[in-house]
Amino acid sequence: LGQEHLAESRVQPALPKMDEVGPGPIWHMIGRVQSNKVRKIVGRFSWIHSVDQTELLERIHRVVVETDVATPRVLLQVNVTGEEEKAGFAPDAVAAALAHATALPSIDVVGLMTMARLESDPETARVAFRALRELLEEANREAWYRTPLAHLSMGMSGDLEVAVEEGATLVRVGSALFESV
């Protein structure tokens, strides 16, 4: 249907879909990445939105080096809401994570990702989205990474307008596309 970018949140259901669709789309892994699934992701997904720990950065780096595949674009997941059930770096740990990533030549961090609280009013997500944008701006101003970060992955079908207003460059709209089918 002309879509150039497709995303999946889980590896196992993604791989057969990728094979069925064939070459062409750029695939994004938007779900939590388990260390034991990195070999299945690297080389298949061009973007990984949900890198939530430095150990995962190291694992991705090692697999890229060992397999000699294209370096995926990585976004660090940040838990700006502080919810215990959500993964991600604490905002005050992002500078150290980016410094760590700078030392890994096969890692290409291009931005930050967050998940806002699930609320019925999309306006409640604005605080989280604004906090992530401000964190990215600070990272670029203070040169926490070897290159400027360009992307903010935030917002889903129910709050994407607010996310875009706050600077999102990547939004997840799966339910808007598939729940009406």
Q: State residue 9's pLDDT score.
A: 87
Quote the CA–CA distance of 81 and 152 in Å, as a whole number: 16
Q: State residue 22's pLDDT score.
A: 85
- DSSP state at residue 34: -
Encoded amino acid at 54, one letter: T
Structure-token pair, residue 136: 């990215």
Nearest alpha carbon to residue 164 among 139, 118, 133:
133
3-state secondary structure 66-122: HHCCCCCEEEEEECCCCCCCCCCECHHHHHHHHHHHHCCCCCEEEEEECCCCCCCCH
Which mean pLDDT values do the consecutive 10-residue runs of the chain (181 residues) have?
82 90 90 92 94 96 94 96 92 97 95 88 91 98 97 89 94 63 45
Encoded amino acid at 173, one letter: V
Q: State residue 181's pLDDT score.
A: 45
Structure-token pair, residue 95: 């500078």
Backbone angles phi, psi at 122, to 5 degrees: -60, -25
Q: State residue 159's pLDDT score.
A: 86
Q: Which residues contact 104 (CB under 8 A, 6 or more apart)?
A: 57, 58, 61
Q: State residue 48's pLDDT score.
A: 96
Q: State residue 100's pLDDT score.
A: 96
CA angle 142, 148, 153 (to 5 degrees): 110
pTM above 0.75, yes or no: yes
CA angle 127, 27, 30 (to 5 degrees): 35
